């Protein structure tokens, strides 16, 4: 079965996470992706371990580099740059995350390529844009801090905490795919390529959704609330008789169902009758709920509350999360031909052109081209 992007060639000059994640998603949908790496060292994430997969590859690299071939080019040499330009002009899409301006100096920038091939699409990924922020280093942790995510993440005010995965890189990679697909559609209609630019800071601010809107639309600077929600209660992590339980109660009907299951008439009290009232009295409500929840364990409560239509669930570790996905028939892990190492499945399900798994991540033991 053919993929939605069969025939699309992607020259991947990116490294680490945002770019490689984007190009892997394109490859899963059928694109031919050629990953350009520096001779001798390759992508930085080849060396980011432990942990390592069964074949000795760093699992970080494995996570975002399947369905690609690798071409080792020294862009510091004239020969390497000539080979890179030939690849770029053969490609439909070029993805890069060099420091802004670097590709131009190498003769591989959008303007130079577009003069020879107007259909060229170049996607540039940076930390803080190609303008005044061009010299700022684009590391996920820095953007989580400087972009405000850590200011609303953590156990308590004064204890800012990063998210447990490089989430800004992942979000930016998704935005890169979105921009590339839009550029391909535009080219289908007009025959013209274009320069797609995404950056970590702008991607994060967009992904902050209601928290960023609180500022720009309401003049409110959000802060840390631990696991609580700024606008909805009860919507957080609550202690039970054994382990924590998440309650995600989004409306008054669900709250009344929760109270009925707990056999507590809290929904009839003025302090808790409406969501705004519950938000105002969130501490008192937490005390009441945890007092009731202490009588049973999290799994027992999940069964009882789910039966009443109350959104809830235990706090799983990643192994438990994968087992949950398996139990629901979501097939979270897939085998890749030619590899003894399993991969996390592409999450998009397409009925006519599903994702395919054709190649394992390219090995490091390759000679420079």
Q: Which helix (H) or strand (E) holds 215?
A: helix 209-218
298, 243 contact by CB (below 8 A) = yes
Sequence length of the chain is 369
The contacts found for 321-329 with CB under 8 angstroms, 24 or more apart, are: none
- 83 Cβ contact list (under 8 Å, min separation 6): 71, 73, 369
Q: Which of 23, 2, 126, 6 is nearest to 346 (CA)?
A: 23
- How far is Cα 161 from Cα 169, in angstroms, rounded to an integer? 17
Joined tokens for residue 322: 């994968």
Joined tokens for residue 89: 């002009």
User: What's the sign of the alpha-carbon dihedral 188, 189, 195, 199?
Assistant: negative
The CB density around residue 303, as the number of other CB atoms within 10 Å, is 11
Q: Which residues pair with 313 in a beta bridge?
A: 246
- CA count, 13 A, side-chain hemisphere, 274: 3
- How far is Cα 82 from Cα 77, in angstroms, rounded to an integer? 9
Cis before 308 (ω within 30) = no
Catalytic residues: 169
Q: How far is CA 253 from the centre of its chain?
A: 33
């Amino acid at each position: 079965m053919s993929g939605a992007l069969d025939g699309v060639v992607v020259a991947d000059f990116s490294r680490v996470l945002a770019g490689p994640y984007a190009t892997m998603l394109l490859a899963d949908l059928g694109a031919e992706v050629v990953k350009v790496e520096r001779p001798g060292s390759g992508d930085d994430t080849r060396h980011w371990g432990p942990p390592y997969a069964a074949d000795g590859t760093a699992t970080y690299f494995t996570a975002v580099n399947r369905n690609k071939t690798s071409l080792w080019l020294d862009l510091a040499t004239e020969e390497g740059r000539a080979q890179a330009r030939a690849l770029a002009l053969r490609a439909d899409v070029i993805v890069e995350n060099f420091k802004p301006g670097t590709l131009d100096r190498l003769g591989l920038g959008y303007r130079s390529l577009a003069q020879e091939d107007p259909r060229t699409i170049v996607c540039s990924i940076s930390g803080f844009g190609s303008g005044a922020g061009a010299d700022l280093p684009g590391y996920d942790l820095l953007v989580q801090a400087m972009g405000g995510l850590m200011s609303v993440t953590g156990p308590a005010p004064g204890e800012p905490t990063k998210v447990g995965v490089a989430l800004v890189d992942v979000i930016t990679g998704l935005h890169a795919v979105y921009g590339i697909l839009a550029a391909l559609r535009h080219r289908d209609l007009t025959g013209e390529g274009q320069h797609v630019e995404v950056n970590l800071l702008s991607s994060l601010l967009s992904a902050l959704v209601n928290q960023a809107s609180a500022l720009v639309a309401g003049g409110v600077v959000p802060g840390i609330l631990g696991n609580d929600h700024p606008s909805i209660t009860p919507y957080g992590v609550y202690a039970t008789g054994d382990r924590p339980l998440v309650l995600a109660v989004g409306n008054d009907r669900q709250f009344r169902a929760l109270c009925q299951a707990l056999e507590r008439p809290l929904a009839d009290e003025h302090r808790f009758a409406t969501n705004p009232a519950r938000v105002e009295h969130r501490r008192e409500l937490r005390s009441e709920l945890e007092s009731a929840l202490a009588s049973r364990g999290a799994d027992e409560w999940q069964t009882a509350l789910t039966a009443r239509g109350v959104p809830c669930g235990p706090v799983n570790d990643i192994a438990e999360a994968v087992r949950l996905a398996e139990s629901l028939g979501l097939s979270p892990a897939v085998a890749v031909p030619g590899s003894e190492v399993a991969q996390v499945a592409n999450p998009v399900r397409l009925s006519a052109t599903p994702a395919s798994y054709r190649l394992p991540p390219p090995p490091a033991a390759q000679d420079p081209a």
